[in-house]
Every structure is written in structure tokens, then in C-alpha cells.
A and B are shown apart, each in its own frame.
Chain A
Amino acid sequence: MTAIIAAIANLKGGVGKSTTTVMLADGLSYFYGLNVCVVDLDAQANSSQMLLTERGVQMAYEQGKGATHLLSSFIKGEPANVADFIMPNAVSLEELRIAEENDDRLGWISSLPSHPHLRLQEMGLEETWYSQAGTPTSLANKLAEHFKTGFDVLREYYDIILFDCPPHLSPLARAGLSLSDVFVMPTIADAVSTWGTKQFSDWVGANVAPDLPSRNFVLITRFRNTGYSKQIANELQEVYLKDRWFGPKIPESVHVLNAMERAAPDSYDTFRGKYGGVKGDVKRLSERFTDFLSQQRAGRKWQKMRD
């Protein structure tokens, strides 16, 4: 395996980055049997919470797992053995659990969770860095350099690594973006978010890699079927972000909210039970995303394992 790294990112908050991250993790592991690692770079720790529950996030932190401890390795100048900070089981789908129990693992999710403490830790690091004449860019570069070896090792164990990024350009988010092969930009079909997509992808092109915007997968989330939203979605696709890959529009739905609240750290559900009325949307999202990946990485096959 040589994992593809995908950052799920947008400067705009609340557009569905974390929800998209979890839907992709579930969809790719379930339908394509992929081994997925979700890396949460956001101190809000929302995708970690969705995967592991609040208690799970806290337990991981106390067990020395997650992004905070990975960042500590950088601060202490220790090598970034990323695998040491991973929670091996972040699966909530019953079908995956049963297959694993029968020694027939077919699709799996692991997590490198975040924790609210991450923000304080990053701020401490920034304070020290800037007091020694460092800049935000040099910090992001140094972090990327430090984590690159660790993630290169990790690539051998997974098919896909998803970075859930915060809604601001934190040092870790910048490092994450520069380690990414592709980036997914969730957005909402409204005026403020639309302008934000231009701002963010221009910034990515200018500061991370000039060709990264061409490796972009756009997803319109929380879509309401109104004339206004349809018009904005159409403009995004036909004008503003023309020639990019678009996923299926994900409807605004209470099924999504339900799916994102795991009942307990040891709670499991079938794919059908978890996603209810939006299961078709998650399926189309994974299909479209693997099409996008095939184009990005020629020769790589993505085969459906479940339907």
C-alpha cells in the first residue's frame, strides 16, 4: 500500500469539513474495503469526537495518543513516529467489526485524534518560535519536514490518510496541506462561502503548491434544495471553480446529524442504520471520490467490495 494523503480543508468554518472527513472514512472503508487513517489537525477535535465519542477522545489523550503528543515530539526534537500516536480502532460500522472478528478484515478506520489542548500547545510553540525570529511560514515548513518521514512510513500501512483541518491556517494545518497529495474543499452554496472558496484555493496555490488547486475535489455540503442554492451551486460548478472535480451535493439533513453522534465508545451500527436517509449520498460521495483518485493516480484500482 502507498496511501494517498487528502487534506479536507477550507478557511471557512462550519462548512462540513469534519462531517465530510467521517463520511469519506466510512464510505471508503465500507464500499471499497480501504484501510483509512483519519488524522485530526483541529483542536476542536470534532471528527475525533464523531469517530471515538467525547470519552474516547479524552481516553486517547490520557493514553498518550493523538495530535497533541505528536506535536510534543516536534517540540522535544524527537523523531515523529506517527504510528505510536494512532488509535488503531475508530470503526463504528458493524459490518467492518464483524469481518474483523472473523479474521477477514475488509475495510478499517484508525484515528490520530485531536484534543482541545492542541490549540494551547500550538500557541505555546508559536510564541517560542516567533520570539526566536521564526515566521509562520518557517514554522509550517519545519513542521512539514519533521512529519514527512513519519507520514511516509505511515503511507505503507494505509490506503488513504485523511487530514481534517481547522477553519484557520494553524501551523499544523499548513504543514498538513503541504504533505497532501490532494485536497478536498467542502463548501456551502451561499455567497460568503463561495467567495471563501476562491480565497482559500488561491492561498493554497500561492503558499502551499501552485498545482494543488488542480488536485482539488469540491463538495457542496448542507445543501438545501432552494432556487437560491441551486443557482449558487451552478455558478460554482460552471464558473468560479470550473474544471475542478465536484462530489455529489450532500443535503442538509437530520440523518447526517444523527450519523455523526456515536452513542458510546463501544457502540456499533450497520451502514444502513448509521446513515439512514443519506446512505445513497455517502455511497455516491465515495464513488465520485475514488473516480477522482483514479485520475490523480493512474494505475491505481479502486474496487467495490460491498454495495
Chain B
Amino acid sequence: MKIKSIDELRKIKEQYQDFVQLRKQGEGNSEHVEVLVGMATCGISSGARETLNAFVTQLAKEKIVGAKVISVGCIGYCHAEPTVQINIKGQKPILYGNVTEANVSKIIEQHIKGGKPVEDLVLQVDFERA
């Protein structure tokens, strides 16, 4: 579909408001659980692809419906790659560092299923987005 005017663009934007609210603040009406995996060159070279694959297979195995695994860019925390952010409605988005394949099941069990973040992997987010 072609976007031919700014109004059409804004309409598309509106349709995505739930998505934005979940992504940014963990709010809104979206029923999805989002798993954002940092998949820039730096992340991939420290194993983010394996992490992403592990999430996809394990979420499928656990039959967790409504969970989306999404590859995103770099968040700048090279010292803690691979990084993963979990967005669940009603919770502040949680950023994890050093999420190797081995840590994936822990996050799924404890956080996505159990609702309790895996504290020792949580990264402090020390920036504001404009």
C-alpha cells in the first residue's frame, strides 16, 4: 500500500499505539509478550543468533502463544552482549545482559512464565530516549 499523505501516515501510526505502549513502557492492551534480541554485528558475534534461535525453539516447545521474538539493533552494552529485552503488559520492560543460550530457559521459566525477572542478569538502563 502506498502512503500518499501525512494523514495516511498518521493513521498507520495510530493503529500501532498498543504496540508502542508495550514496547516503551510495558503498558497498553497488547496481549503479546515480546522478546527483543540485540542483533547488530556486535551482538551476533557474541552469540545473539544462537540466543534468538533458542528463544524461538523453546517458546514453541513450551507452547507459549502470543510471544514474539524480534531482532532489534544494538543498545550499546557491548560489555554484556548478547542483550535481550522482555516486554510484558503491566511490567516495566526488563533488559537482560549476557543472555547466552544457557540462560534462555531460565528467563522463560522464571520471567515469561513465572512473572519474576531473573535478577542476576538484569542490566541497569542508564539512558533516556529522546
Q: Is the A/B pair a real complex? A: no
What is A's interface to B at a CB cutoff of 8 Å? none
